[in-house]
Amino acid sequence: MADETTGPVPPARRASARVARKRSTDTGEEAKAPKQARTDPPSEEPEASESRSSGPLQVGDALPSLELVDQSEERVQIADLKKVVIFTYPRANTPGCTRQAQCFRDAYDDWKQAGYEVYGLSSDSPKSQTTWSKKLSLPYRLLCDPKRELIGALTGTKSSTKRSHFVVGEDGKLSLSSIGVKPGESSSAALASVAT
């Protein structure tokens, strides 16, 4: 009889062991949940900064530390530029880009009077920029950005060059960013932003 009473005990013990294991597993899962909740916000911050850095520079942002050459192959430190207007154009010696460049050329004295230097910017080679500059008698420098590093920083894309203009203040930070502009209105619209 003693054997009969002790026979059912082990299954009962096994059952209570299963319940105990289940409880400890449940408790462990519950304990992990708050830890995951605590680590979620930090992982969101890098995502926010990544999406921010992949977009175009905003008003108040400084120009990136890059070195480009102009049409004469003279080096230009982009981060050092202050009180400048930079206009981007898809390709030298094409109708819309020529119109935009001519408008900046015709308003060059107004830009100088306002205390600003003018820079054109495209992915064209120095040779193409030089030919075009001479053809149009452009009085300002044309920056060559074959990898579209500055173009990408300003417009938010390196896949193409969007016709745009950007004004950089005396503090070296953007005071105007206009992406996707009409060639004949680019210079006058940018100039209006610095007129006193």
In this predicted model, what pLDDT tens digit does every residue of 142-167 receive, in sequence order?
999 999 999 999 999 999 999 999 99
Distance CA 67, CA 59 (A): 21
In this predicted model, what pLDDT tens digit does every residue of 91-139 receive, in sequence order?
999 999 999 999 999 999 999 999 999 999 999 999 999 999 999 999 9
Q: Which carries the bigger pLDDT value, residue 11 or residue 49?
A: 11
Element (H, E) at 88: strand 84-88
Domain spanning 61-193: which CATH class is it, in words? alpha beta
Q: Catalytic residues, which ones?
A: 97
Residues composing the chain: 196
Verdict on whether the full-model pTM lies above 0.75: no
189 burial via Cβ count (<10 Å: 0-12, 13-18, 19+): middle
